[in-house]
C-alpha cells in the first residue's frame, strides 16, 4: 500500500494530511474543517491536520516536514508564503508523497506541485467592485480607498487588482487609492482603518482585501457612523453581523470550507484507489453575501455540520467532474 511505514500493516487505512496557514483565523480553520469533511465523505482514510498558531512561514516549513513523516499518502498545503515553502514541498514530492496546493494564490516555481485549488482572486475582486459600483450614482466622482491586511500575498493582491481594474472600468473619473497596508494583526488593523477613515471622511467607499479588514471595516463604519460604503472578503461571524447591520454593503466568501472539502475528497480518493489527481488550476467558486442572504449564510456557518449539510450538494457537484473546473496552472491568479 502506498505510504506504509514501519509501524503500519496492510490493514491500516492510508493517511492524508493538511497544512493550514494558521490555527487562529476563521478562514484557515474553515479550510481545515472542510478538508476533514471532504475526506470523511470519501471515507477509508485517516486525516492529520496541522498548522502554525499564527501566520508563520518558517513554522509551516517545519510542520510540513513533520507532517510528511505521518501523512504519506497525500498532503494539501495552504501556504502563507508560496516561495518560502516551494523547496520543502519539492522535497516531499521527491519522497513520493502527492502534494497539492490549496489556496495561497499561486504555486511557486520549484515546488514540483502540479495541482492547485483556489479561487480566481481577480474575478472575485471584480465582483466586489461591481457590488459597490451598483450602489453609487452613475458617473460618480471622488475617491475610493483600498486596503489589504496582507500585501504581497498573491491571492489578496489579485483581489485588489480586480477591484481597482473594475472600478475604473465602471467609473473612469474615480480616484482609486491603494492598496494601503492595513496590517495583519487585528489591533493594528483596526487602528489603521480608523486612521484611514479619519483621513478620508469624503471617500465614497473603503474596501478591504482580507478577512481582518472585513471585521474592522464593519467596526469602524459603526464607530464613525460612516457615510462611505464598506466591503471586503470574509464570513467571520463579525463580518456577517456587519452585513446584517448595514455596516458592510457586502462581503465575499472565498468559500474556504468548500476548497478544503474538495482537496480532502480528492486526496482521499487518490490514497484509497490510486485515482489520478488532476493537473492544473481548479477554479473554486466564491459567494457574495449581502443583506438578502446574510441570514441564510449565518445559519449555514453555525457549525461544521450545518456547513456540510448546506454545501454537500455543491461538494458532490465539484468532485463529480473536476476537469470542468480546470485551467492551466500557469494562468493561476
For residue 278, the domain's CATH number is 3.40.50.2300
In a domain, 116, yes or no: yes
Burial class (CB in 10 A: 0-12, 13-18, 19+), 140: middle
Residue-wise pLDDT tens digits, 55-65: 888 999 999 99
Residue-wise pLDDT tens digits, 52-93: 998 888 999 999 999 999 999 999 999 988 999 999 999 999
* Judgement on whether residues 187 and 261 belong to the same structural domain of the protein: no
Contact 299, 306 (CB under 8 A): yes
Residue after which a domain boundary falls, among 253, 272, 295: 253
Closest CA to 250 of 283, 217, 223: 217
In a domain, 312, yes or no: yes
pLDDT the model gives residue 104: 79
Mean pLDDT of 157-186: 96
In a domain, 320, yes or no: yes
In a domain, 83, yes or no: yes
Residue-wise pLDDT tens digits, 93-141: 999 999 999 987 789 999 999 999 999 999 999 999 999 999 999 889 9
Count of all residues that appear for the chain in the document = 333
Contact 139, 173 (CB under 8 A): yes
What is the span of the domain harbouring residue 210?
121-253
**pLDDT bracket for residue 294 (50, 70, 90):** very high
pLDDT the model gives residue 249: 98
* Judgement on whether residues 171 and 230 belong to the same structural domain of the protein: yes
* Judgement on whether residues 225 and 327 belong to the same structural domain of the protein: no
In a domain, 92, yes or no: yes
* Judgement on whether residues 141 and 204 belong to the same structural domain of the protein: yes
Closest CA to 106 of 92, 91, 95, 120: 120
* Judgement on whether residues 161 and 215 belong to the same structural domain of the protein: yes
Q: Is 180 left (phi over 0), alpha (psi -120 to 50) or beta?
A: beta
pLDDT the model gives residue 4: 37
Domain count, the chain: 2
> In this structure, are strands 250-253 and 287-289 parallel, antiparallel, or unpaired?
antiparallel
User: Of 21-30, 179-188, 314-323, where does mean pLDDT reach its minimum?
Assistant: 21-30
Closest CA to 252 of 222, 295, 220, 297: 297
Strand partners, 284: 119
Higher pLDDT, 175 or 6: 175
Residue-wise pLDDT tens digits, 204-237: 999 999 999 999 999 999 999 999 999 999 999 9
pLDDT the model gives residue 333: 67
* Judgement on whether residues 145 and 51 belong to the same structural domain of the protein: no
Q: Is the pLDDT of residue 6 over 50?
A: no
CA distance 76 to 71: 10
**Sheet bearing 250-253, strands edge to edge:** 174-181, 142-148, 205-208, 229-232, 250-253, 287-289
In a domain, 10, yes or no: no
% the chain with pLDDT above 90: 87
First-to-last C-alpha distance (Å) of the chain: 36
**pLDDT bracket for residue 275 (50, 70, 90):** confident
pLDDT the model gives residue 10: 58
Higher pLDDT, 332 or 166: 166
Burial class (CB in 10 A: 0-12, 13-18, 19+), 262: buried
* Judgement on whether residues 100 and 195 belong to the same structural domain of the protein: no
In a domain, 297, yes or no: no
DSSP annotation of 141: -
Which H/E stretch holds residue 165?
helix 154-170
* Judgement on whether residues 46 and 105 belong to the same structural domain of the protein: yes
* Judgement on whether residues 146 and 238 belong to the same structural domain of the protein: yes
Contact 222, 269 (CB under 8 A): no
CA distance 226 to 242: 13
- Give Cα separations from 271 to 46, 97, 106, 312 (angstroms): 10, 10, 24, 21
Coil, helix or strand at residue 177? strand
pLDDT the model gives residue 1: 30
Q: Where are the beta strands (DSSP E) in the chain?
A: 15-19, 46-50, 75-77, 99-102, 115-119, 142-148, 174-181, 205-208, 229-232, 250-253, 280-284, 287-289, 326-327
CA distance 158 to 283: 14
Q: Is the pLDDT of residue 3 over 50?
A: no
* Judgement on whether residues 129 and 106 belong to the same structural domain of the protein: no
* Judgement on whether residues 76 and 165 belong to the same structural domain of the protein: no
pLDDT the model gives residue 66: 97
Residue-wise pLDDT tens digits, 253-267: 999 999 999 999 999
What is the rounded average pLDDT for all residues in the chain? 94
In a domain, 199, yes or no: yes
* Judgement on whether residues 82 and 151 belong to the same structural domain of the protein: no
Amino acid at each position: 500500500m502506498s505510504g506504509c511505514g514501519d509501524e503500519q500493516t496492510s490493514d491500516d487505512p492510508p493517511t492524508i494530511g493538511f497544512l493550514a496557514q494558521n490555527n487562529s483565523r476563521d478562514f484557515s480553520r474553515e479550510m481545515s474543517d472542510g478538508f476533514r469533511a471532504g475526506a470523511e465523505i470519501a471515507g477509508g482514510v485517516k486525516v492529520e491536520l496541522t498548522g502554525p498558531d499564527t501566520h508563520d512561514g518558517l513554522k509551516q516549513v517545519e510542520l510540513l516536514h513533520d507532517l510528511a513523516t505521518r501523512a504519506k499518502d497525500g498532503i494539501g498545503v495552504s501556504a502563507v508564503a508560496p516561495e518560502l515553502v516551494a523547496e520543502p514541498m519539492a522535497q516531499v514530492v521527491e519522497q513520493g508523497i502527492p502534494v497539492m496546493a490549496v489556496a495561497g494564490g499561486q504555486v511557486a516555481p520549484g515546488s514540483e506541485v502540479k495541482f492547485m485549488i483556489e479561487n480566481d482572486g481577480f474575478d472575485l475582486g471584480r465582483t466586489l467592485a461591481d457590488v459597490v459600483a451598483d450602489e453609487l450614482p452613475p458617473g460618480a466622482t471622488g475617491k475610493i480607498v483600498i486596503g489589504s491586511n496582507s500585501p504581497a500575498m498573491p491571492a489578496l493582491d489579485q483581489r485588489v487588482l480586480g477591484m481597482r481594474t473594475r472600478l475604473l472600468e465602471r467609473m473612469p473619473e474615480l480616484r482609486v487609492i491603494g492598496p494601503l497596508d492595513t496590517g495583519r494583526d487585528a489591533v493594528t488593523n483596526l487602528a489603521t482603518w480608523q486612521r484611514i477613515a479619519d483621513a478620508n471622511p469624503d471617500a465614497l467607499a473603503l474596501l478591504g482585501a482580507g478577512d481582518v479588514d472585513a471585521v474592522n471595516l464593519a467596526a469602524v463604519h459603526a464607530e464613525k457612523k460612516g457615510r462611505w460604503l464598506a466591503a471586503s472578503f470574509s464570513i467571520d461571524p463579525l463580518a456577517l453581523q456587519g452585513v446584517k447591520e448595514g455596516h458592510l454593503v457586502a462581503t465575499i466568501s472565498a468559500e474556504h470550507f468548500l476548497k478544503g472539502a474538495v482537496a480532502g475528497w480528492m486526496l482521499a480518493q487518490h490514497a484509497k484507489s490510486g485515482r489520478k489527481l488532476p493537473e492544473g488550476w481548479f477554479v473554486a467558486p466564491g459567494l457574495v453575501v449581502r443583506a438578502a442572504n446574510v441570514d441564510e449564510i449565518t445559519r449555514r456557518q453555525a457549525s461544521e455540520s450545518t456547513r456540510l449539510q448546506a454545501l454537500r450538494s455543491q461538494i458532490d457537484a465539484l468532485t463529480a467532474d473536476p476537469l470542468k473546473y480546470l485551467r492551466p496552472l500557469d494562468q493561476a491568479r
